[in-house]
Amino acid sequence: MSYLVGMGDTAGLENPFPAPRWNVPIFDGHLDLAWNALGYGRDQTLPLAEIRMREMPTTSENGRGAAAGLARGRDSGPASTPGTTPAPAPAPGIGPGTATVCLPELRRAGVAMVHATIFQRTGNRKGPREMLLRADPDFASPALTHAAACGQLAYYQLLERRGEVVCLNSAPAVAEHWRQWQAGAADLVGIILLMECADAISDVEELDWWRRRGLCGLSLSHVQRSTYAAGNDCPESDGGLTDAGRQLLVRMAELGLALDLSHLSDRSFEEAEDRFEGWVYASHCNCRRLVPGPRQLTDRQIGRIGARGGVVGVVLCNFMLSTSEAKPPARDLISLRHVAEHIDHICQVTGSIEHVGVGSDLDGGFGREHVPREVESIAGLRLLPEWLNKRGFTDRDIRRILGENWVSFWIRCLEGPGELTSPGGDDISNQAD
Ligand SMILES: [Zn+2]
């Protein structure tokens, strides 16, 4: 039995954890904190219990009522209103679901550092009426996508000014932050800014602007075709990188930005990995050998990331953990044991313990309903060591997987030519360029 069984009942309370030998800092490789804040109105500084309570009136329908409630927001009116066109109900399994992440919960869970994303896309997949509901990440033009992404950047900068997080974008800052957490001398969550889908970079020259504001890594696409590359939902015939994508990779390497290979189509992955000369990683990906599908990485892709010194962050989304026929897979069928299996597989493929970490993606468009059964909140990561231990991982291995691999990666990466001198980046409000 786990030492934290029943933890869900204590979500939002003060530290309920005993002091196990695995009580070490955690690094989560993928959290969409700002998207949840600006898209779903989830103030990340509130306790998790309060965020859930605020969403209670609309969370009664199969765990996805919050999305349904948003989709029937004030602009579209109730479905029965004569003369209005109701917004369609969200597809099964899509939507925010029950919240599992916020800053107090991260601190309670001992999550010392995260990759905090800026996530917006360019596209016209929805009509203007639906796009009034800003929970979706799509905007009609690169300029609008850029502006929306700046809102997410501004949110992280405000959180830092208010002492809620600390932005880390230099090797010494990352090393010192981690050392303080290890010593029990810090409780602020450190964030490394990543962009998920590069659409918010409205042209290649703009990449310098983002770099100066602390952006450390980015992925070229989300699931569909972006300005820069075909994503994992694109057919192979849809091509790989665009010319802009190839140019962006050159400038990324010059500026010292790392490349997140998550979400690329196989063809895009091959070309990007082949062309890019800087550091590569996958912030949130699982193993295709265990769960078929283009969203997961092949063994060859995992091997390439490992060979280049990168890290793959394993995702806690049940869709990506199980081959269950049921879609979505029943929560009761999926355990952190499945997460440990993906971690183990990455170690087998790379022949090393050094190229795997956590990239939970919790609240990344799904909620508690679609994560392993033991996980009531982000603090459920504390249960992972027990499963890893059962698979034979040593305490030293577990420390690496929970955080040290990501920390080592960024220390190496940020020591490069693109190291910034201004922790936290420049404030967007006083830029003259
Ligand atoms: Zn993603």
Task: Characterize 325-342 residue by residue with b for buried, 16 or more Cβ atoms within 10 angstroms of its Cβ, and e for exposed.
Answer: eeebbebeebbbbbbbbb
Q: Is 111 helix (H, G, I), strand (E, B) or coil?
A: strand
Mean pLDDT rounded to a whole number for the chain: 83
What is the Å distance from ligand 1's center to 426 Cα?
26
Residue 280's domain comprises 28-39+97-420
pLDDT of residue 20: 60
Q: How far is the CA of 255 from the centre of ligand 1 (A)?
A: 24
Q: Of 14, 359, 410, which Cα lies nearest the Cα of 178?
A: 410
Among the listed residues 222, 155, 176, 181, the one whose alpha carbon sits nearest the alpha carbon of residue 27: 181
CA of 289 to the centre of ligand 1 (A): 19
Contact assessment for residue 357 and residue 405, using Cβ atoms and an 8 Å cutoff: yes
The CA 295 to ligand 1 mean position distance, Å, reads 9
Residue 216 to residue 418: CA distance in whole angstroms: 9
Task: Give residue 180 CA to ligand 1 midpoint distance, Å.
Answer: 30
Retrieve residue 92's tokens: 């099964």
Residue 9: pLDDT over 80: no
Residue 62 is assigned to a structural domain of this protein:
no
Answer with the residue of higher pLDDT: 29 or 56. 29
Q: Cβ(109)–Cβ(51) under 8 Å? A: no
More confident residue, 85 or 98: 98
Residue 288 and residue 320: Cα distance in Å, rounded? 9
Q: How buried is 57 (Cβ within 10 angstroms: 0-12 exposed, 13-18 middle, 19+ buried)?
A: exposed
Task: Report yes or no on 53 lying in a domain.
Answer: no
The predicted-structure confidence for 144-157, as pLDDT tens digits, reads as follows 899 889 999 999 99
Asked whether residue 301 is assigned to any structural domain, the reply reads yes
Query: 106 phi and psi, to 5 degrees?
Result: -60, -45
The answer as to whether 12 is a domain residue is: no
φ and ψ of 86, to 5 deg: -65, 145
User: What CATH code is carried by the domain that includes residue 383?
Assistant: 3.20.20.140
Q: How far is the CA of 288 from the centre of ligand 1 (A)?
A: 16
User: What spacing in Å lies between the alpha carbon of 293 and ligand 1's midpoint?
Assistant: 14
Of the listed ranges 1-5, 213-217, 292-296, 426-430, the least confidently predicted one is 1-5
State the total domains in the chain: 1
HSE-up of residue 310 (Cα within 13 Å, Cβ side): 28
Q: Please name the amino acid found at residue 162.
A: R
Amino acid found at 269: F
Residue 179 has a CB neighbour count (10 Å cut-off) of: 13
Q: How many CB atoms lie within 10 A of CB 24?
A: 19
**Each residue of 316-347: pLDDT tens digit?**
999 999 887 666 778 888 999 999 999 999 99
Distance from the CA of 124 to the center of ligand 1, in angstroms? 19
The rounded Å distance from CA 423 to ligand 1 centre is 26
Structure tokens at 344: 């183990």
Q: Which residues pair with 287 in a beta bridge?
A: 297
Helical axes 142-161 vs 33-40, angle rounded to 10°: 110
User: How confident is the model at residue 21, as a pLDDT?
Assistant: 73
Say if 86 falls within a structural domain. Answer: no
CA distance from start to end of the chain: 57
Helices and strands counted in the chain (H then E) = 14, 11
Contact residues for 87 (Cβ-Cβ < 8 A; gap 6+)? 71, 72, 73, 76, 129, 130, 133
Residue 59 confidence (pLDDT): 45
On whether residue 391 sits in a domain, the answer given is yes
pLDDT at 331 (0 to 100): 87
Distance 87 CA to ligand 1 centre (A): 25
Q: pLDDT tens digits, residue range 113-156? A: 999 999 988 876 655 445 445 567 888 889 889 988 999 999 99
- pLDDT at res. 335: 94
CA of 310 to the centre of ligand 1 (A): 18
Cα distance between residue 368 and residue 375, in whole Å: 7
What are the pLDDT digits (tens) for 404-414? 999 999 999 99
In a domain, residue 21? The reply is no
285 CA to centre of ligand 1 in angstroms: 8
With cut-offs at 50, 70 and 90, classify the pLDDT of residue 3.
Answer: very low
Query: Is residue 244's pLDDT more than 70?
Result: yes
Question: Is the pLDDT at 403 greater than 80, yes or no?
Answer: yes
Q: Rounded CA gap, 268 and 163, in Å?
A: 39
Whether the CB-CB separation of 185 and 176 falls below 8 Å is answered with no
CA–centroid distance, 304 to ligand 1, in Å, is: 20
CA distances from 248 to 202, 218, 242 (A): 11, 11, 10
Percent of the chain predicted with pLDDT > 70? 79
| Residue 421 per-residue DSSP state | S
Question: Would you state the pLDDT for residue 130?
Answer: 53
Cα(31) to ligand 1 centroid in Å equals 9
Cis peptide leading into 328, omega within 30 of 0?
yes
Share of the chain above pLDDT 90, in %: 67
Q: Is the pLDDT of residue 103 over 50?
A: yes
pLDDT at 50 over 60: yes
pLDDT at site 57: 56
Tell how far the Cα of 329 is from the centroid of ligand 1, in angstroms.
19
The candidate with the shortest Cα–Cα distance to 350, out of 387, 308, 389, is 308
Q: What is the pLDDT of residues 287-300, one digit of tens each?
A: 999 999 999 999 99
336 C-alpha vs ligand 1 centroid, how far in Å?
20
CA of 364 to the centre of ligand 1 (A): 7
Asked if the structure places residue 204 within a domain, the reply is: yes
222 CA distance to ligand 1 centroid (A)? Answer: 6
State the distance from the centre of ligand 1 to the C-alpha of 272, rounded, in angstroms: 17
